[in-house]
Structure 1
Amino acid sequence: MGTFITEALLKTGKHHLTAITRTDSTSKIPARVEVKKVDYEDPTTLIEALRGQDALIITMSVMSPPGQSAKLIEAAAAANVPWVLPNEYGGDPTEKKMGEDAMIGPGKQADRDLIEKLGKSSWVDISCSFWYEYSLGAGPFAYGFDFENRSVTFIDDGTTKINTTTWPQTALAVARLLSLKVLPDDASDKSATLSQFRNKPAYVSSFLLSQKDMLESVLRVTGTKESDWRIEHEAHEVRFAAGVAQFKAGDRRGFGKLLYTRAFYPDGCGNYEARHGLHNDILGLPKEDLDEFTRIAVDRAARKVLVL
C-alpha cells in the first residue's frame, strides 16, 4: 500500500515526502522521496525523523513485530506531528464485534486510543475494506475464488454485498485527504477540510459487490460461462470456524479465511456504505471500471502473486 500512496502523493505536487525505514532495510525508495533511517529500539531516531512533519502515514506489514506502530505514534506525539493515519486500511472501525471476531479490531482501537491519550495528534482512519484486486486473486481463503481450478466457494448464497476498494483508489483517497485545507476559511466556508475528519473514519470504496457480482465480472473477463465453474456453498458460521481452527493449527491462510468470512456475515457489517455513506464525492474519487480490476486480479492469480 505504501508504494501506491507514495505515487499518489507525488502526483499531487503538493507534498514533500519522507520515508522512514529501518537501518538494515533494502527497500527501493523513489528518488523524489527523502529517506530517514531509524532504529525502532531507539525512540530518538524516530522523533528526529518525524520532527517538522505535518502527517504520519503508517503502512506497516501485518507481519511487523508487535508494538511497532505504537512506537511511531509515541514518536509522532513527541515530535508534535498534528495528523496520523494509523495502520488501518480495513473495514468499519465502528463495527466492534466484527473487529473482535476477526482479531484485528482491539489492536487498531488501541492505536487510536493511544493517539487521543497522548493528545498531540489527531487520527483519520481510512476505511476501505479489502483491496479488490488483491483479494479476488489471492486464493480461495479470500473472496473464495480458485482460478487455477475454476472453482468458487460462495459464503451462504453468495449474495451478501460488501464494500471493496482498489489499491489506486485507496491511495488517491489518502492523497486527496491530505491535500485538503486543514480548517475552513471562515464561518461561511462550507468546503471540505481535513479537520472534519478529525478522529473519524474516512469511508471510501470502489465497488459494493457480492460474490455473485464478482463471478459475473470474472465470466466477462475470462470469456467463460457459469457452467465452466464449480460453484460450492458454505455457511458463514461453518467457514469462520474452519478458518479459526486452521489458524490455530499454524496455517496463516486460516486467519485470512476467518477475516474475510466475517465481513460477509449477513448482519451487513461489511457494507459500511449503507450505514455511513461514503466520502468518495468529498474527496473527488473517480468511478472505476470493475472488469479492469478483475482482469488485474486474474493476472495476479495466474502469476501466483501472493503476500500473506
Structure 2
Amino acid sequence: MGQQYASDQPSGYNNHVEKIALVGAGGRIRKHITQALLNTGKHTIIAITRQDSDNTLPGGVTVIKVDYNNQESLVEALKGQHVLIITMNVMAPPDTQTRLIYAAATAGVPWVLLNEFGGDPYDVEKGKDGIVGAMKVPFRDQIERLGKSSYIGLVCSFWYEFSFGGGSNRYGFDFEDRSLVIMDDGKTKINTSTMPQVGRAVASLLRLKTLPDDKDDKSPSLVDFKDKAVYISSFTVSQQDMLESVLRVTGTKLEDWKITHTTAKDYWKSGQEVFKTGDAAGFVRLLYARAFFPDDPENYERTRGLHNELLGLPQENLDEFTKIGMETRLTLAA
C-alpha cells in the first residue's frame, strides 16, 4: 500500500492516537511512561494487570484485570484501543508477549510498542552476544506475520540511573566499597538514557499525528516509524566520563577509589561463564560488558543518529542523574 494521507480518510477520521493500553504495570519504566502520557492530557489510558495484582497506579489510569491464560479476556480488554505498550521484565515468560500480540491483532489494535526499551534491535551481532537481541526477533516477526498491527521499538540503551546504581556488573561502580572495574581504557563511549527521558520520548512519539495531512505535509508523523525503531539517548558517555561525574558529585578524589582493570571482552567472557552456572549476575555482566567493546560499542548515535530533536527531548544534567543512581543503589541481579 502506498503512502496514505489524512485528507484521503473518511469523514470523522481522527489523525491522532487517543486510547492507550499499558501492560507491565509493575515495571520500573512503566511509571515514567504512564506519567508522561498523563502529562500530555491527550490520551485515555488503561493498565492491563493480572487479577491478583495489587500495583498502585496514578489517578487517571483505568485498571483492567485479565486472565492471561484466557485469550478472550485479553482481546476484550484491548478492543477499541489505538496503542498497546508492553513493558515487562526481560526475563518474563516469552509466551506472555506472544499472547498479547495475538490479542492485539484480534482486537484490531493498530500500533504496538514492543518490549524493546533497550539496545538497537536491528544490531544483529550485539543482539546475539548479549542474548536479549535474539529474544526480540520472534515478536517482530509475529506482528508482521499476523498483518493486523504495526510495531515500533524504542531504542534507549541502558537506563542510566538504574544501571549506575546497580553494582559492578553494570557500569562497573560499587558504591558500598567505593570501587570501580574499568574496561579497557575506560574511554569507550556508549549511549544511555534516563528513565524520565524514556517516558518523555514515548509521550512525544504518541502525540505525533498518525498520518501526514496531505502530500505537501513534511512534518513528522507516527507512520514514519511504522515497523521501525525510534532512537533516543540522554548521554553519550564513557566510564571515564561517569567517574568524573562521581568525583564531582561526591567531592572525592581519584585516590579515594579502588580501581581494577579488565577488558570488555574478558568481562563479557567471564559473564558467560557465571551465567552458565545459573547465576543471573553473569547475564547482567555479559550484557553490559558487550556494550563497551571498543571496536563495536553500543553507540547508535554514531551509526543511526538520534530522534531526540524530532521528539523535542530536553538535554539533561549528567551529575543530577549520577546522584540519583548513587542514591538508588539498585542491587537486583547485580
Q: TM-score range by the shorter chain?
A: over 0.9
DSSP-derived class of the 1:97 partner: helix
Aligned pairs (5 A) from 1:43-122: 43-122=71-150
Aligned pairs (5 A) from 1:260-299: 260-299=288-327
Match for 1:15 among 20, 43, 46?
Answer: 43
Which amino acid counterpart does residue 119 of structure 1 have in structure 2?
A: G
1:159-193: per-residue Cα shift (whole Å, max 9, x none)? 11000000000010000001100011111111111
How far apart, CA to CA, are the structure 1 residues paired with 2:62 and 2:328?
31
Residue 257 of structure 1: aligned partner:
285
Residue 31 of structure 1: aligned partner:
59
Residue 189 of structure 1: aligned partner:
217
* TM-score (normalizing by structure 2): 0.90
How far apart, CA to CA, are the structure 2 residues paired with 1:161 and 1:21?
38
Which amino acid counterpart does residue 249 of structure 1 have in structure 2?
A: T
The number of residues matched between the two structures is 305
Shift of 1:108: 0.7
Which amino acid counterpart does residue 104 of structure 1 have in structure 2?
A: V
Shift of 1:63: 3.6
DSSP-derived class of the 1:67 partner: helix
DSSP-derived class of the 1:99 partner: helix
Residue 271 of structure 2: aligned partner:
243
Residue 3 of structure 1: aligned partner:
31
Deviating beyond 6 angstroms after TM superposition, the runs of 4 or more aligned structure 1 residues are: none
2:228 pairs with 1:200: yes
Q: Residues 95 and 269 of structure 1 are in contact (CA less than 8 Å); yes or no, is this contact kept in structure 2?
A: no
Moved more, 161-170 or 94-103: 94-103
How far apart, CA to CA, are the structure 1 residues paired with 2:292 and 2:65?
40
Point out where structure 1 has 5 or more consecutive residues left out of the alignment. none
Aligned-pair identity in percent equals 55
How far apart, CA to CA, are the structure 2 residues paired with 1:54 and 1:290?
35
How far apart, CA to CA, are the structure 1 residues paired with 2:113 and 2:332?
22
2:206 pairs with 1:178: yes
How far apart, CA to CA, are the structure 2 residues paired with 1:50 and 1:307?
32
How far apart, CA to CA, are the structure 1 residues paired with 2:211 and 2:57?
32
How far apart, CA to CA, are the structure 1 residues paired with 2:34 and 2:310?
21
Moved more, 213-222 or 89-98: 89-98
Shift of 1:206: 0.1
1:122-177: per-residue Cα shift (whole Å, max 9, x none)? 11110000000000110001000011111111111111100000000001000000
Which amino acid counterpart does residue 226 of structure 1 have in structure 2?
A: L
How far apart, CA to CA, are the structure 1 residues paired with 2:297 and 2:151?
22
1:226-253: per-residue Cα shift (whole Å, max 9, x none)? 1111121111221111101111112111
Q: Residues 160 and 193 of structure 2 are in contact (CA less than 8 Å); yes or no, is this contact kept in structure 1?
A: yes
DSSP-derived class of the 2:52 partner: coil
2:255 pairs with 1:227: yes
Q: Residues 145 and 153 of structure 1 are in contact (CA less than 8 Å); yes or no, is this contact kept in structure 2?
A: yes
Shift of 1:84: 0.4
Which amino acid counterpart does residue 179 of structure 2 have in structure 1?
A: S
1:91-115: per-residue Cα shift (whole Å, max 9, x none)? 1112101111111112211111111
Q: Residues 12 and 175 of structure 1 are in contact (CA less than 8 Å); yes or no, is this contact kept in structure 2?
A: yes
Point out where structure 2 has 5 or more consecutive residues left out of the alignment. 1-28
Moved more, 244-253 or 210-219: 244-253
Shift of 1:30: 1.8
Which amino acid counterpart does residue 222 of structure 1 have in structure 2?
A: T
Q: Residues 118 and 154 of structure 2 are in contact (CA less than 8 Å); yes or no, is this contact kept in structure 1?
A: yes
How far apart, CA to CA, are the structure 1 residues paired with 2:328 and 2:135?
30
